[in-house]
Amino acid sequence: MSAAARWANHGPVDPAPRIVDVAILGGGLAGNLLARQLRRQLPQLSVALFERSRETSFKVGESTVEIASNYLIRRLGLSTYLYENQLPKNGLRFFFDTPQKDAALVDMSEIGSGHLPRFPSFQIDRQRIEADLMRMNLADGVQLHVGARAHDLKLHEQDGPPDAQTASGMHEFTVTEGDARYPVQARWLVDASGRASAIARLKDLRVATPEHGIAAAWGRFIKHADMDDWGPEAWRARVGHTARTLSTNHFCYPGYWIWFIPLGRGVMSVGWVGDRAIFRDEMRKPEGFLEFLRGHRAAWDLLKDRAELIDVLAYKQLAYATKQFFAGGDRWFLTGEAAAFTDPFYSPGSDFISVENDMITDMIARDHAGEPRAQIAERSAVYDEFMRFRFQATLLLYRDLYPVLGSFELLKLKWDFDIACYYNLWAAPFWHDQHLDMRQLQHDLRRKEFVLQGLENFSRLFQKLEAGYRARGLWHRANLGRYSDSLATVDFADELLAPRPRKQVMRTTEAIFNGIRARALDLLADLGEAPSPAERSLPLYEFMLGSPLA
């Protein structure tokens, strides 16, 4: 029996109507974390969670990064739980191959750190953490309904037409649990039910993202080889004998990448993410997935001797957007994959959950404390616009850039840019709760177009370099034998421990932009291309207007 099945009702279910303060649809990571947060921050509110499945299942999305980890530790008090029951993560690590995909692991160029990062993150076994969170939530007083299907949802929208209002003035839905059926009324409704989101369907919120056509297939292995007991001493000494296994290891190729993520207890998650055009339906099946991996020597070396594939899953289209994340005035919200998904390359999924859950909890708290509805609605609109901005900015990290991934020189430049921007612009503000500060958000949103233009400009610069490298046959030239410290450009980490004045953040941004652009100019010089503008240093605003960076 799986862990979650123990929480399912095995006896007769009481068919009496339920009235709760907060109803959460979906008992995955997003829903369980939100239930925990609500119990901790608003213990006076009743919280009911409805999960359709009777058992937790194998899910992708095991790697957390620095926003999500901060949320789990600081907001949810899960530090001890995570260190005792999940794995500390050793950052992101990238390996590069030959055109023939025949490099041995120890010969591959590598981007990664030589020690555990100072800002913690974790590799989480989703199945295990979701079952554990259910157990904790049950103990904390969450009304847990496992094996309970919510349907016939009717939202109460105060300003909507009569058919968008319920007689009770609350959101209403029906739950089928075992043989019983009962109605539920909830003041606040949160949809955390993943891609199947009921609210997204009801409100027609889902937006396709054909501009980022990325597919994925993944599976769990046992009995794989140990990367940290592998290869010559010099290769292990190169990273100070740090545990490479604990990293999210990416094997990078033009147009796709393969992940190795340890889940603990001898299980390794291995996945493929790439352009839909190169996805093959055979990869949905164990034989096809193994056959694909077999074509990549380094990855296959870790699996071929004894490893056993336990299961395999796939999605043909990963990314999608939403028209709306929150309706605070009408008391309904989306979190996690019920709202949107970008791309797993930098593991942003749980970061989105963290920001969304914080915002949802904040709006419910204010509403409960009696803040006027108009103010909640205004805050909700700002939070919503920020999330859509965040989504757009995240998608820009990946869109049109999959061709860059498999070249050490090109990804090193892009990675250094992305990780420095992540710490400076997204992670540190979250750590200091600036994502809940209306003034700060409104200020950020006024600059939204400029920030997106800056990211777009860098995306074009990376694409220009990639085209030049490809045209001159230089694409793979540094893919063997090199090593780069993955956090070398985050030399401002000490500054992030306290809130920084806005001007300091922007100065750091200017320094990051100029540092990366100067390195790009050197690579362009290698290609024999003269940049325009030719200056090595530009004022920040020039990065954010609509002209090319080189």
User: Could you tell me the smallest distance in angstroms from the CB atom of residue 538 to another protein?
Assistant: 8
- 296, 226 contact by CB (below 8 A): no
Q: Which of the residues 378 through 437 are near another protein (CB under 8 A)?
A: none
**Residue whose CB is less far from another protein, 316 or 460:** 460
Judged by CB under 8 A, the stretch of 113-121, 168-176, 394-402, 540-548 that binds another protein is 540-548
**Residue whose CB is less far from another protein, 404 or 512:** 512
**Residue whose CB is less far from another protein, 265 or 446:** 446
Element (H, E) at 123: strand 122-123
- 510, 542 contact by CB (below 8 A): no
User: Could you tell me the smallest distance in angstroms from the CB atom of residue 247 to another protein?
Assistant: 35
Choose, by CB under 8 A, the member of 232, 370, 528, 546 that binds another protein: 546
Taking the chain, what is the end-to-end CA distance rounded to the nearest angstrom? 59
Cα distances (angstroms) measured from residue 238 to each of 79, 88, 241, 312, 486: 30, 21, 7, 34, 13
Judged by CB under 8 A, the stretch of 54-62, 303-311, 312-320, 442-450 that binds another protein is 442-450
Cα separation, 220 vs 80, in Å, equals: 26
Cα distances (angstroms) measured from residue 203 to each of 243, 370, 436: 46, 27, 26
- Which amino acid would we find at residue 441? L
Residue 422 CB burial class (10 angstroms; 0-12, 13-18, ≥19): buried
User: Could you tell me the smallest distance in angstroms from the CB atom of residue 381 to another protein?
Assistant: 18
Judged by CB under 8 A, the stretch of 76-84, 180-188, 199-207, 443-451 that binds another protein is 443-451
- Which amino acid would we find at residue 331? R
| Closest to 469 (Cα-Cα) out of 417, 401, 532, 526 | 526
User: Could you tell me the smallest distance in angstroms from the CB atom of residue 503 to another protein?
Assistant: 6
**Residue whose CB is less far from another protein, 372 or 539:** 539
Q: Which two tokens stand for residue 112?
A: 């990664």
User: Could you tell me the smallest distance in angstroms from the CB atom of residue 506 to another protein?
Assistant: 5
**Residue whose CB is less far from another protein, 78 or 544:** 544
**Residue whose CB is less far from another protein, 343 or 444:** 444
User: At 34, phi and psi to the nearest 5?
Assistant: -65, -40
266 lines the binding site for another protein (CB under 8 A): no
User: Could you tell me the smallest distance in angstroms from the CB atom of residue 418 to another protein?
Assistant: 21
Residue 222 CB burial class (10 angstroms; 0-12, 13-18, ≥19): middle
**Residue whose CB is less far from another protein, 371 or 542:** 542
**Residue whose CB is less far from another protein, 101 or 507:** 507
Neighbours of 158 (CB within 10 A): 12
Cα separation, 19 vs 170, in Å, equals: 9
User: Could you tell me the smallest distance in angstroms from the CB atom of residue 510 to another protein?
Assistant: 6
Size of the site for another protein (CB under 8 A): 16
User: Could you tell me the smallest distance in angstroms from the CB atom of residue 375 to another protein?
Assistant: 24
User: Could you tell me the smallest distance in angstroms from the CB atom of residue 509 to another protein?
Assistant: 9
Residues in the chain: 550
Choose, by CB under 8 A, the member of 104, 208, 518, 545 that binds another protein: 545
**Residue whose CB is less far from another protein, 45 or 538:** 538
**Residue whose CB is less far from another protein, 335 or 509:** 509
**Residue whose CB is less far from another protein, 42 or 506:** 506
Site string for another protein, 445-474 (x = CB under 8 A): -xx-xx------------------------
Q: Which two tokens stand for residue 517?
A: 């652009």
User: Could you tell me the smallest distance in angstroms from the CB atom of residue 544 to another protein?
Assistant: 7
- For residue 117, give the 3-state DSSP assignment: coil
Choose, by CB under 8 A, the member of 92, 339, 544, 550 that binds another protein: 544
Q: Which of the residues 479 through 538 are near another protein (CB under 8 A)?
A: 503, 506-507, 510
User: Could you tell me the smallest distance in angstroms from the CB atom of residue 546 to another protein?
Assistant: 6
User: Could you tell me the smallest distance in angstroms from the CB atom of residue 455 to another protein?
Assistant: 15
**Between β-strands 18-25 and 47-51, what pairing exists: parallel, antiparallel or unpaired?**
parallel
Choose, by CB under 8 A, the member of 55, 140, 485, 542 that binds another protein: 542
| Closest to 392 (Cα-Cα) out of 380, 384, 403 | 384
Choose, by CB under 8 A, the member of 57, 98, 532, 547 that binds another protein: 547
| Closest to 123 (Cα-Cα) out of 153, 149, 88, 80 | 88
Task: Label residue 160 left, alpha or beta by phi (over 0 means left) and psi (-120 to 50 means alpha).
Answer: beta
**Residue whose CB is less far from another protein, 480 or 511:** 511
For residue 176, what are the β-bridge partners?
Answer: 149, 181
Cα separation, 410 vs 234, in Å, equals: 26
Instruction: Write the DSSP symbol of residue 427.
Output: I
**Residue whose CB is less far from another protein, 5 or 452:** 452
Cα distances (angstroms) measured from residue 325 to each of 161, 263, 407: 21, 30, 36
- 96, 104 contact by CB (below 8 A): no
**Residue whose CB is less far from another protein, 241 or 447:** 447
User: Could you tell me the smallest distance in angstroms from the CB atom of residue 58 to another protein?
Assistant: 46
User: Could you tell me the smallest distance in angstroms from the CB atom of residue 463 to another protein?
Assistant: 19
- 429, 435 contact by CB (below 8 A): yes
Judged by CB under 8 A, the stretch of 99-107, 294-302, 462-470, 542-550 that binds another protein is 542-550
Cα separation, 63 vs 87, in Å, equals: 10
Cα separation, 145 vs 137, in Å, equals: 11
Q: Which of the residues 143 through 202 are near another protein (CB under 8 A)?
A: none
Binding site for another protein (CB under 8 A): 446-447, 449-450, 503, 506-507, 510, 539-542, 544-547
